[in-house]
A and B are shown apart, each in its own frame.
Chain A
Amino acid sequence: GAVVSQHPSWVICKSGTSVKIECRSLDFQATTMFWYRQFPKQSLMLMATSNEGSKATYEQGVEKDKFLINHASLTLSTLTVTSAHPEDSSFYICSARKGSNQPQHFGDGTRLSIL
């Protein structure tokens, strides 16, 4: 159990486009989901923590108007990169947790390339 699906796996789009990434917990209800960003050969940096039905908590330095997070249900969270620019190109990965005493399980990630 504890399968997390992320879609799309990769996306290439033009500068100025908004891109939506979905994160779904397939076989469990996730009270909390997390969004990370990873640059090539670097570690994962937490962008925001998302609790179902409430506003996401963003890490310092992450623009909430740039990276819109919606966690409308216990199995789905979305990250929308608005008006994406080449510097937004990165590997975005989500994770989901069943409850406060459970480890995070990660999706397969989304490779975003902005031209």
Chain B
Amino acid sequence: AQKVTQAQTEISVVEKEDVTLDCVYETRDTTYYLFWYKQPPSGELVFLIRRNSFDEQNEISGRYSWNFQKSTSSFNFTITASQVVDSAVYFCALSEARGLTGGGNKLTFGTGTQLKVEL
């Protein structure tokens, strides 16, 4: 069975601080995908990143960066110089993959981390 753990229920930071959201996963699959989604107060889920289990390179996109460590089954997300607009619930998710090109079927979500960025 797949499982995603986001141990941090809520994090509060002051604007411009860096913040890291933790994600630890469990799966028996050797091929899988990891995701991060952002859910602002309005409710919609915004796709941030998808990472293939074969690709352990860290990724940076603007103020966002992701650290994938297969050895510790972690896929942590760092926001640099946080802004008030970053306030949201962030979900880490895992999906199975079918073969080498399958994009996964079911998404298993973590319980989410509520990030509050204050002035």
Interface residues of A (CB under 8 A from B): 2, 32, 34, 41-46, 49, 91, 93, 95, 97, 99-109, 111
Contact = CB atoms under 8 A, between A and B. Distances in A.
A9 to B, nearest CB: 9
Given A43-B109, A44-B91, A44-B109, A101 B103 contact: yes
B111 interface: yes
For the residues of B in contact with A, the DSSP-based class is loop
A93 B104 CA distance: 19
B50 interface: yes
Contacts of A93: 43-45
B16 interface: no
Contacts of A46: 106-107
Contacts of B64: none
Contact of B43 (A43, A45, A97, A108): A108
